Amino acid sequence: MGSSAVDKLVTLGFSEYEAKAYLALLQENPATGYQVSKGSGVPRSMIYEVLSKLVARGAAMTLRKEGGSKYSPIPAAEFLDKLQRDHEDLVTALKDNLSSVSSEANLEYIWNIEGPENVMAKAKEMLGQARARVYLALLPETFQTLHRALSNAAERGVQVVVYSASELDFPEGRVVVSPVPVQASNRLEGLWMVLVADGREALIGELLTQNRAKASWTRSPLFVFVAEHHLRTDLYLPRLLALLGEDARGLIDESDWELFATPFESHLE
């Protein structure tokens, strides 16, 4: 317990000697500098300087008596409550200070994310922060990993639409089934997911191998618009072409037919 507590106090800004001396005081008090040095392992040559710093921090107090001084700790709960209040006040003040000098961050760059766990962690973070709407296209086998995060978003009142090549058990949101034609399956099998949250950020993930994946994340307005437009329109093309049948050829320029319709020709057969 001692070592863990020392590490946590150091994280809060104590020196290692200060942390050890404070713990020693909690275990035996009031105590002389000699007793604290012996109980904490802080060298006697430094113990009084360390104790003075604890007093200055408000973590200890000096008890002056005839024949010398003794030290007593501020009770841990009381001291930590004060420390928490001080940090909250400091963070609040710092927010005001920094907001007055900070310029708007440029988020139009693209972050590259490597590794399946990191990609999924980013997707869950986006779903956890979504407030209005989420559009997500994914492979059916990926759905289970994100199911809880998607359900939580829907329970918060977020509109959740999931596009999949097959039916999914997701009554909390809307599932749009868009079968992948045989001609297009080889092109799309590496596309893990396309996720757009609140029209503000987009994540496109690609599965390279079973254990390798990469993704691109951005808040670029143009990039996000294109990704959301794709999800809300392009994935309906197989249905539309299936309904139009051969009439689709009359609506699509012949020079564009191969690029536009070839992946979906199985719907026309």
**pLDDT confidence bin for 104, thresholds 50/70/90:** low
Residue pLDDT, tens place only, 36-84: 999 999 999 999 999 999 999 889 999 887 778 899 999 999 989 988 8
In the chain, CATH 3.30.870.10 sits at 110-268
Stretch(es) of the chain classified as CATH 1.10.10.10: 2-78
Residues 184, 248, 135, 148: is their CA dihedral positive or negative?
Answer: negative
- If residue 7 lies in a helix (H) or strand (E), which one and from where to where? helix 2-11
Cis peptide leading into residue 171 (ω within 30°): no
pLDDT at 186 exceeding the cut of 70? no
Mean pLDDT taken over the chain: 82
CATH 3.30.870.10 fits domain 110-268? yes
Q: Which CATH architecture has domain 2-78?
A: Orthogonal Bundle (1.10)
Write down the residue that tokens 């951005």 correspond to: 218
Contact 112, 215 (CB under 8 A): yes
